[in-house]
Amino acid sequence: MTKTSAEAGSDFPGIIYTEKKPGKWKEKVGGHAPKVSVEGKKITIATKHPMTEKHYIVRHTLVDEHGKVIGEKTFYPTDKEAVSTYELPDGFKGGLYATSFCNLHDLWVTKIDV
């Protein structure tokens, strides 16, 4: 059975957090679960989170359902926002995992299918 975004974190409770399974961070969903948008081959990952020296988004990755890393971006506290863009290979179809890591609130994953 294919996992939906609601189930994406269920294999790793306390390690991977998702919008539907935020665990101990249930008050933190809005600023941490990455939002993924698709325009043709272009994928944008956005985390609506402040970027300050003490609290910021460290990194995004985009990984296909077979574990192939399509792209990654490391952020710094001086970056204005945690937004990254990627280009899918021609003809790509399947599942994608977008990850977003907060320096205080751990690893969040959103799964989409394209």
Catalog residues that contact Fe ion under the rule CB under 5 A: 102, 104-105
State the nearest-atom distance from the C-beta of 27 to Fe ion, in Å: 11
State the nearest-atom distance from the C-beta of 73 to Fe ion, in Å: 17
Strands (E), the chain: 16-17, 35-39, 42-47, 57-64, 69-74, 82-87, 95-102, 106-113
State the nearest-atom distance from the C-beta of 95 to Fe ion, in Å: 26
Residue whose C-beta lies closest to Fe ion: 102
Output 2 or 52, the one with its CB closest to Fe ion. Answer: 52
Output 97 or 101, the one with its CB closest to Fe ion. Answer: 101
Output 32 or 111, the one with its CB closest to Fe ion. Answer: 32
**Cα distance between residue 28 and residue 96, in whole Å:** 23
3 state SS of 23? helix
The tokens for 88 are 């899918």
